[in-house]
Amino acid sequence: MMKKDAESLSGAEEFEEKKGKFITFEGTEGCGKTTQAEMIAEHLRLEGREVVMVREPGGTAVGEKIREILLDTRLGDIAPITEALLFAADRAQQIRDVVRPALQAKKIVVADRYVDSSLAYQGVGRGCGLEAVKNLNEWATGELEPDLTIMLDLPLEEGLKRAGELERDRIELESLEFHRNVRNAYDMLERIHPRFVLVDARGNPGAVHKRVLLEVNRVMQES
């Protein structure tokens, strides 16, 4: 496939400059990503900023259908490459329909997971390979990078215990070894990318929010 065709499919050629701020939340199961993403989105709205919050998988009509497949506990035997492709398809739709338009309108986008999740879960956890998953998602997103990635740091066993208090989805039900591999992948990504900030996720949501807010305020002050 020629580069021009790839750009057309990803929508990259329609996006000349990212004008808003793009903040993503990452971490292993039960670390509080959704809670903290929602809290920071609400805080920014109270400051008078326009905020769009998105989650993965989901967020669009197509994405919600993909979410049903990916998290369905009755579909345990999904091939790793199929899983990676489904996550990338969900992401491509949401980037085109929601994220890029919001950033072009100078809004703040807060995302509950993004490409780093696929690198950790499918690239390493499922053994699809970091390079293959990276290339797939660069195509799916037009290489759109976050301004800040909040990595919520919580001991793995504590996070899985938290997650176990609710009904677990297909991925949460994976083995402890799988989740350890995912955590190791996140540790590697955090060391590689300057946009990653490690935030202690221990304690009550309010205390964690204060730590997250310090990092978000720093990025919001940047031009």
Predicted confidence at residue 166, as pLDDT, reads 62
Question: What tokens does 222 get?
Answer: 């940047």
> What SS3 class is residue 20?
coil
pLDDT for the residue 172? 78
Mean pLDDT of the chain: 89
Residues 6+ apart with CB under 8 A from 157: none
SS3 annotation, 112-181: ECCHHHHHHHHHHHCCCCHHHHHHHHHHHHCCCCCCEEEEEECCHHHHHHHHHCCCCCCCCCCCHHHHHH
**Range with the largest mean pLDDT of 12-26, 61-75, 106-120, 152-166:** 106-120
Query: How many Å apart are CA 171 and CA 194, to the nearest integer?
Result: 28
pLDDT, tens digit, 9 for 90 and up, residues 198-207: 999 999 999 9
Structure confidence by residue, pLDDT tens digits, 129-158: 999 999 999 999 999 999 999 999 998 888
What pLDDT digit, counting tens, does each position of 80-132 carry? 999 999 999 999 999 999 999 999 999 999 999 999 999 999 999 999 999 99
What CATH code would you report for 3-220? 3.40.50.300
d(CA 4, CA 180) in angstroms, rounded, equals 39
| Ranges of each domain in the chain | 3-220
16, pLDDT greater than 70: no
* Ramachandran angles phi, psi of 24, nearest 5°: -120, 150
pLDDT for 74: 85
The amino acid that residue 45 corresponds to is R
